Every structure is written in C-alpha cells, then in structure tokens.
A = this chain, B = another copy of it.
C-alpha cells in the first residue's frame, strides 16, 4: 500500500485520462492534424483545456502518451512453431500497424515528448517480445540470435526507414533483413553491447 498508483483506477483521474486519450484517437481518425489542438481535444473529451495542460504539460507529451498506448504490443507474439515463422508473423503485424503514413506519424509523436522516456518504454516492450520469441526458439533447440541483435539489425533498420524516408516498407523489406541475419545468427560477438 504505497499509494503509488494515485487515485484508484476507475476514479475520476482515470476517467479523465481515458476520455482525453479517446478524444485524441477520435480526432486523429477524423480530421487533419491541423485541427488536433489542445482546446479541440478538451472539448471532445468534456474537460477544460487547463486540465490537459496541467496533467500532460503540452500537446507533444499528450500525443506521445497516446502513441505509446497504440504502439506498445498488446499480446504475446504468436507461436508458429519456428523462429523464422514467429519473426515473420510478428513483423507482418507490426509493419501493418506502422508502415502507413498514420503509423509513421505515430512514431514521430512517440518521439515528440521532451524526454525520451516514452520511446524507451516502447523499445523495452518490443525487446521483451523478441525475448519471448528467442526463448521459445531456444527451447526448441534452434540456434538464434539475441534480442539485442534483432533490435539492432531487424527492428532498427525498419524504424529508420519509417522515420527517415518515404520509401514503402513492407514484408519484402523485412524478409531482406531477415535473410541477411539468419544465416549468420549468433556470431561470436553477438552479446548485448555495453550499457555503460
């Protein structure tokens, strides 16, 4: 009982957060990003703008929080029976979510908070998914790289394309990356890099 979670979930504070997040999602799906202002969000959520400014600080932080909710995985990666299959299934779903203009905008929103905190949380959650895929593969006796290698050489290149280009990103792109990595999995120095 530390009181760490603030007001109990289901209380007013949680209702306001849910209403505001929902309002952001609704406005994002409807109009252009020009109409996505704090007063507009507040009106849609049935709260006053000052509530949003006090809780989130600015629009960037709010959009970042909403993006985190949408980008963090909501379930365990599916088990297809092989490492390659698990990776392909996972990547297919993630590319489907993020490769659109809307998905790319979400990714930029995630980074639009003053601190890199949300981006780090998102990356950690995704790495945890790779950890599960790797653990299952290892249990099967497959020889697979670490989740760090997957983040570096599969996920990072995909995200880089999404953020730094307008090229289409699809499963062909992902397959190319997998093909480069898989034959040379777990090289001698594939241990996680220093965290210093």
Contact = CB atoms under 8 A, between A and B. Distances in A.
B157 A176 contact: no
B184 A187 contact: yes
Interface stretch (A45-53, A110-118, A129-137): A110-118
Interface in A141-164: 149, 151-153, 155-157, 159-160, 163-164
Interface string A82-101: 00000000000000000000
A111 B163 contact: yes
A194 interface: yes
A180 B154 CA distance: 14
B187 A183 contact: yes
A189 B190 CA distance: 21
A121 B165 CA distance: 9
The dominant DSSP class at the A interface is: helix
Contacts of A159: 156, 160, 164
A172 interface: yes
Interface string A171-194: 011001101100110010110011
A122 to B, nearest CB: 7
A189 B180 contact: yes
A7 interface: no
Contacts of A193: 172-173, 176-177
Contact of A108 (B111, B149, B156): B111
A33 B41 CA distance: 25
A119 interface: yes
Closest 8 CB pairs between A and B?
A156-B160, A152-B157, A123-B164, A119-B164, A156-B157, A156-B156, A184-B184, A176-B193
Given A119-B164, A155-B160, A177-B193, 11 more contacts: A108-B112, A112-B112, A116-B164, A116-B165, A152-B153, A159-B160, A168-B195, A170-B196, A176-B189, A176-B193, A179-B187
